[in-house]
Amino acid sequence: MKDFWAGGLQNRRKGRILKAILLGIIIFLILLVLILSIIYYNNIEFRSWCDENVIKKEVLQEEVNTIEIDKDDNIQVYAYDKYICILKNKTLEFYNRVGSKVDSIEIDIVNAEFASSGRYLTISEKNGQKFYLISGREKIYENTIEGNITEINVSRNGYVSIVISNTTVKSVVDIFDRTGKEIFKTNLVNSIAIDTSISQDSNYLAIAEVDITGIIIKSSVRVVSIEQAEIIYRYEAPTGSLITSINYQEKNKLICMFDDSIGILDGENYSELLKYENNKLAFVTIGLSNRVVLVEETSTGEYTSDTNVRIINPNNNKTKQYNTSNVAKAILTYSNKIALNFGTELHIIGTNGILIKKYKSNSEINDIVMTDNLVAIVYNDNIAIINF
């Protein structure tokens, strides 16, 4: 009987020891993962090694799904939401993430201009009068305007703003709701509309305009209440600063890009985010949900350069960086994704500066379209699809 109780006690001790060892192993693994994660996010060299050898973020051209095309058909390719769209012979075809055709709709447009936000897509005839609003794979409405469409934008709620030229005034900005009903027009008598943007809640329309009637260029931004159809604020830029684009980001903050600086218009308060003081800037973009991107090139030799991508949060001015020993040919952004074209390589990164995918092509990459879900590379005979 004594041996029985002694054996039971010994088994319980062994059980406690095993549990302690198992708990120790679990804690060790958690700490190891935590430490490796911290090193991964803070050490660029370690991160690059992991991306290439452990996580396998690199994908080759022959490994991805493709859509067969014939460039002689005079096609146009665009991507939005979860679809790749091909416009040819006045038909808009929809393809999914694996390259399968899922739908098509008739569009009476030959030379198209595209704009999208979220699940809404607008298509207009370049310098024409007709435009469409599409949601998913459904045509919501079509409409025509007087004059010529020089630019079209759409908000994530389906509101459409159009810049119109060839009228009795220099520019007209027309805005429509998601049903196609015209809300109001804004006539610019002495200035030209360079860009428009609708706030994410569709309460405000911002118009970037340039007055070229005098000797000195004057840029300004007017903010219009969509509900009241009247100007609620107007920002006059310093003399000589040329505005090039505007974009409403989160919390109704309007990012304004000039030829010499970038600033934020928050309500009636304008603050300068940064001044261009670096002649090594290759690209600057504000076309993201909540970031500003600067691409700088630094020479490392007679024929070599490094590319440094600075991703700035306009709310707190904090910066993330992505570095590579290549020279970028082009940059494309959508929502919170950034695509860097290095010729035969495409790097797709997030706004945290972390590589998402690296694509290696067998030939030069020229045309790219992207959404928040995918990137498509357009070649002469096919479209390669990279999914995130």
User: Percent of the chain, pLDDT > 70?
Assistant: 90
Count Cα neighbours of 46 within 13 Å in the Cβ-side half-sphere. 9
Q: Do 144 and 130 contact (CB within 8 A), yes or no?
A: yes
Q: What is the pLDDT of residues 270-321, one digit of tens each?
A: 999 999 876 778 899 999 989 999 999 887 776 677 889 999 999 999 999 9
Q: How high is the pLDDT of residue 43?
A: 67
Q: How high is the pLDDT of residue 53?
A: 63
Q: How high is the pLDDT of residue 25?
A: 83
Query: Sign of dihedral through CA atoms 4, 5, 9, 12?
Result: positive
Q: How high is the pLDDT of residue 96?
A: 95
Q: How high is the pLDDT of residue 314?
A: 93
Q: What are the residues facing 218 on neighbouring strands?
A: 211
**Residue 19's CB: how many other CB atoms inside 10 A?**
10
Q: What is the pLDDT of residues 32-49, one digit of tens each?
A: 778 777 776 766 666 666
The rounded distance, in Å, linking the Cα atoms of 242 and 230 is 25
Q: How high is the pLDDT of residue 58?
A: 85
Closest Cα partner for 304 from 286, 327, 324, 281?
327
Low-confidence ranges of the chain (pLDDT < 50): 1, 4-5
The rounded distance, in Å, linking the Cα atoms of 162 and 175 is 6
Q: How high is the pLDDT of residue 287?
A: 92
Q: What is the pLDDT of residues 44-91, one digit of tens each?
A: 666 666 666 656 678 899 999 999 998 777 899 999 999 999 999 999
Q: Do 288 and 249 contact (CB within 8 A), yes or no?
A: yes
Q: What pTM does this model have? A: 0.84
The rounded distance, in Å, linking the Cα atoms of 280 and 275 is 13
